[in-house]
Amino acid sequence: MKTRIFLTGFRGAGKSTLARLLAERLNFEILETDRLVVRQAGCPIERIVKERGWRLFRLLETQVLKNLLKKNKIVVDCGGGLFVNDVEFKNGLTFGEYNYNLVKDLPGRFIIFLKVSESVLRKRLGQDPDYNKKWRPSLGRPDIKVYYQRMPLYEKRSDFILDNSDQSPLQSLEKIMKALCDKT
């Protein structure tokens, strides 16, 4: 049985919505890495990055990940760069690679990549009331360029890829549930 489920993908892919629905369906705890980083730091992500840099944010994110790996029966709403960011960690390894290595052999682990088309992504980000606020700051990064840079890593570092462009959250949930049953 898959007891540690990670939802990855770019911001606007539907991770938060599907994490909530999946956690409810499975009766698992939902954990949101960005919110846990904010709680740990005591300030918004935007402030962490502007005052201390991406490296500190990624370090805090890694600490949050290590803490939640002690749990079972969890659905993790991963920050968009958790497994794919290119901020250098140490010994030539990025934080994205390091974080992926922490979970890749974890018992009960299942990583779901929520893929969306560029046009759907642009539409969703334009309608997202939290975009550029404390939970999802763009901090001036070129989102679409980063989206295309990350795509191959999202695909490589996942157990299941779900195109979440043109279906309802409940349709996506049913496909995830089927994948969980098929991969068990």
Q: What are 95-135's pLDDT values in tens digits?
A: 999 999 999 999 999 999 999 988 887 777 776 555 445 44
What total of structural domains would you count in the chain?
1
> Considering only 3-12, 13-22, 142-151, which range has the smallest mean pLDDT?
142-151
- Residue 44 maps to a domain: yes
Residues near 122 by beta carbon (within 8 Å), at least 6 away in sequence: 144
CATH of the domain at 60: 3.40.50.300
Residue 96 CB burial class (10 angstroms; 0-12, 13-18, ≥19): buried
Instruction: Let me know if residue 68 belongs to a domain.
Output: yes
- Domain of residue 65, residue span: 4-176
Q: In terms of pTM, does the model score above 0.85?
A: yes
Q: Which of 47, 59, 141 is nearest to 99 (CA)?
A: 59
Q: What is the mean pLDDT of residues 137-159?
A: 78
Structure tokens at 42: 């005591």
